Structures are given as structure tokens and as C-alpha cells.
Amino acid sequence: MEQHRTRPPHNGTRRGAPGVPAAPLPAQARGELRPPVARRPAPPMARTLRRLPDPRLTGLGGGLFCMTVMFVLGCLISLLLGPSLTVYSVLFLPVCVLTAVWIRRADLLTAPIVVPIAFAVGLLPVADSGDGTSGRLMGLFTALATQAGWLYAGTLATGLIALVRRICLVRRRTR
């Protein structure tokens, strides 16, 4: 089926007041091409980062990722090293950074909320536990109290990364 034009062809002249010459068209509207711009090669660090996986997790997915990784790390540390809270806490920081980087833009505000919860979930296998529920809770609260610096550092790192990403997103939208 043949499509008929709904607009008259545009031949480069503009309609205006009679007797007033039309303004000249820019080079792109006349069909002229600009010379290609030479691009510099990307720095080696940027090329390396482009090759890494770039998943985008929802808020729930980021929470599940962080909690699962911290619980598995807690179990592995408990089996291999015994109850080593310092090793667990040091490994918490890269998990915080990955969570903040991999959460999608719309769910950035959930990252600093999920990270402390994941820290507490991962402490369950690592914390010293006594007999029964009250002994386990006492060990968990003691571990949270003694490792509060690492918990705050990881939460702060996650919050700062999320904040910087949010500021970049807002600036990009305003342009």
C-alpha cells in the first residue's frame, strides 16, 4: 500500500513574512556533514572496568545478594577460622561496595538500609553462642557491639557511593 505524504516537501526555504528573507539553515539541516572528531583511547583502568560484570539489582535483589553473601562468608569463616569477627568485618566492606554499585538507580536509597541488616544476618554463624536462644542472642549483641566500627564504616561507604550515584543521576537529568 502506498503512503502519501501528509506534509509538503521541505526544500530549505522557510515561510515567513512576505518580503523578509529566510534565515540561513545550519550546516546539519542543509545535509552537510561535520568532519569526524578523533577520540582518545580510554585509559587502561576504564577498559578493565568495562569488562567486569555490570548487574543491576533491584532493592530486594540487592538485599538478598548482600544477606546471602554475608551469611555464606560467615559460615565459611566459622568453619575455616573459627569465630573470627575481624576477618568477617573486613570482608564486609567489599560486599558493601558491590551492593552500592550494583543496585539500580531507582533503588539507590535501599542500599544503606540493607547493608546493616545483612551484617547482622551474617553474624549469626560467626558470633560466639551459648546454650539456647538467650545465649545466641547475647553472642549476637556482643558481636554487634564490638564490631560497630566496621558496621558503621561499611554503611557509610555504601551511603556515600549511593549518594554520589544519585547526585550524578540528578545532574544528568537536569541537562
Tell me the pLDDT of the chain averaged across its residues.
83
Q: Per-domain residue ranges for the chain?
A: 57-174
pLDDT tens, residue by residue, 53-93: 667 888 899 999 999 999 999 999 999 988 889 999 999 99
The amino acid present at 79, given as its one-letter code, is L
Burial class (CB in 10 A: 0-12, 13-18, 19+), 163: middle
In the prediction, which pLDDT does 92 show? 95
pLDDT tens, residue by residue, 42-61: 788 777 767 766 678 888 99
Quickly state the pLDDT bin for 14 (edges 50, 70, 90).
Answer: low
In the prediction, which pLDDT does 45 show? 75
23-40 burial: b if 16+ Cβ within 10 Å, else e = eeeeeeeeeeeeeeeeee
Are 99 and 115 in contact by the 8 Å Cβ rule? The answer is yes
